[in-house]
Amino acid sequence: MKTSFSVDKITLRRFLLHKQSLFKPDRSLESTSLEKTLNMIKKLECVQLDPVSVVERNQHLVLAARMPGYDPKYLDDLLSDGKVFEYFANAACVIPMEDFPLFEPTRKRIQENVADSLESLEIVVNTVLEQLRAEGPLPSRAFKSDNRVNGYWDNNAPKTKETSHALNLLLDAGIIRVVQRDRTERYFDLTERTVTRKLLKHTKDMDGPTAKDLLIEKYIRAYRVFDPRDARFGWQKMTAAERRAEIERRVQDKTVIPLEVEGVKRQYYLMAEDLEELETFVEITKQEPRSLESTITFLPPLDNLLWSRERIKDLFDFDYKWEIYTPRVKRKYGPYAMPILYGDRLIGRIDPQIDRKNKVMIVRLLQLEPEVKQTSELRQSFRNALNSFTIFNGADDIQVENSDLNY
């Protein structure tokens, strides 16, 4: 077993794109199903949730980028069928239900953190739980209250309905969970009666160290090419020293291999079991050393590939920042600027917005990187991608306000 492996950036990013189901189109996914959608979530390990709806929401854009025939209803159905659950991984994510036991340490930690808040709302919390026990699953609007408290996002004056705050606390603690979505509306129910007895027993029997190790392994599989300096490493609270120790232990066990990436100072690592597959991409790059031009894919800001901005800079030579929380006057590209993937390169950004009333896809900005050559193939690929993206978002027409590309 090699103690380290030297690789160039082009090869490594092609391998990473392959593992992210973004390297080459899989024609079998043009006709999707519940099973294929679940398999994709399992392959990715989880998909990040986000309520922002400038266009379709992040979780659906992630899946649609990899599955041309994807329908958002599939994810909603998987949740209702108990095949996936929502909880904190990279952030709030949709996760295969079989992984429910792995997150018990996270639930316990959050329960300790919110214990005082739950106690201060004890009467409301008990009322919410009793109503769910009697009538659940229920949406937030089913709980009546005239009192307002300081919720998670209230900066000064209390604006959050106290029952809504109780639901959020119980949800974060894992005492209740989202069991159904009707597009934007969530339905809640008790965790104890919506998870199978087998999984609950497995959760109860799993000890903390085992859960910690399994969660780190899940994180590593999700990232594939990873950097232990990531504060979210392992999706649990660890110091920098603890993260380094976890990696070093795996290097010593020969389950993880350090990578020496040509032209990159940052230390990355790879699962040892992925080495043989990475070596096949070394051969691909020898045969095809130039950047590959294939289909164009628009990646949402919280796409799995983009979780590490440093990795994107190192491997793709592409600086990316999600500007939705940047003050308007300081934005460079736009609030929902999405990186454009062309073959094995990130070649620019598109800032879309859907006018749902008039069913128009508005492209507020389309900007390419300076070195990108505007070929006829690129223009055709962009037209195809924009048309597909427009249809997926339920629009009938396209309006372009500012574009570098004469397509």
82 close to 97: Cβ distance less than 8 angstroms: yes
292 pLDDT exceeds 70? no
Q: What is the 3-state secondary structure (H, E, C) of the chain?
A: CCCCEEECHHHHHHHHHHHCCCCCCCHHHHCCCHHHHHHHHHHHCCEECCCCCCCCCHHHHHHHHHCCCCCHHHHHHHHHCCCEEEEECCCEEEEEHHHHHHHHHHHHHHHHHHHHHHHHCHHHHHHHHHHHHHHCCEEHHHCCCCCEECCCCCCCCCCEEHHHHHHHHHHHCCCEEEEEEECCEEEEEEHHHHCCHHHHHHHHHCCHHHHHHHHHHHHHHHHCEECCCCCCHHHCCCCHHHHHHHHHHHHHCCCEEEEEECCCCCCEEEEHHHHHHHHHHHHHHHHCCCCCCCCEEECCCCCHHHCCHHHHHHHHCCCCCCCCCCCHHHCCCCCCCEEEEECCEEEEEEEEEEECCCCEEEEEEEEECCCCCCCHHHHHHHHHHHHHHHHHCCCCEEEECCECCCC
- The percent of residues above 70 in pLDDT, for the chain, comes to 98
Q: Of 379, 223, 222, nearest to 293 (Cα)? A: 379
Q: Is the N-terminal amide bond of 327 cis, ω within 30° of 0?
A: no
271 pLDDT exceeds 70? yes
| 360-368/397-400 β-pairing | parallel
CA distance 79 to 91: 18
Query: If you average pLDDT over residues 42-47, what whole number do you get?
Result: 98
11 close to 266: Cβ distance less than 8 angstroms: no
372 close to 383: Cβ distance less than 8 angstroms: no
**pLDDT of 287:** 86
CA distance 190 to 341: 41
**What is the reported pTM?**
0.95
151 close to 164: Cβ distance less than 8 angstroms: yes
Q: What residue ranges define each of the domains in the chain, with the CATH number in brackets?
A: 21-223 (no CATH), 296-400 (3.40.630)
- Summarised one tens digit per residue, pLDDT across range 148-199 is 887 777 777 777 889 999 999 999 999 999 999 987 899 999 999 999 999 9
Q: Of 99, 34, 98, 19, nearest to 66 (Cα)? A: 19
Torsion sign, CA atoms 154, 160, 166, 171 = negative
- Summarised one tens digit per residue, pLDDT across range 204-249 is 999 999 999 999 999 999 999 999 999 999 999 999 999 999 999 9
Query: If you average pLDDT over residues 337-366, what whole number do you get?
Result: 97
- Summarised one tens digit per residue, pLDDT across range 6-39 is 999 999 999 999 999 998 877 777 788 999 999 9
**pLDDT of 86:** 98
Residue 376 tokens, joined: 């006829």
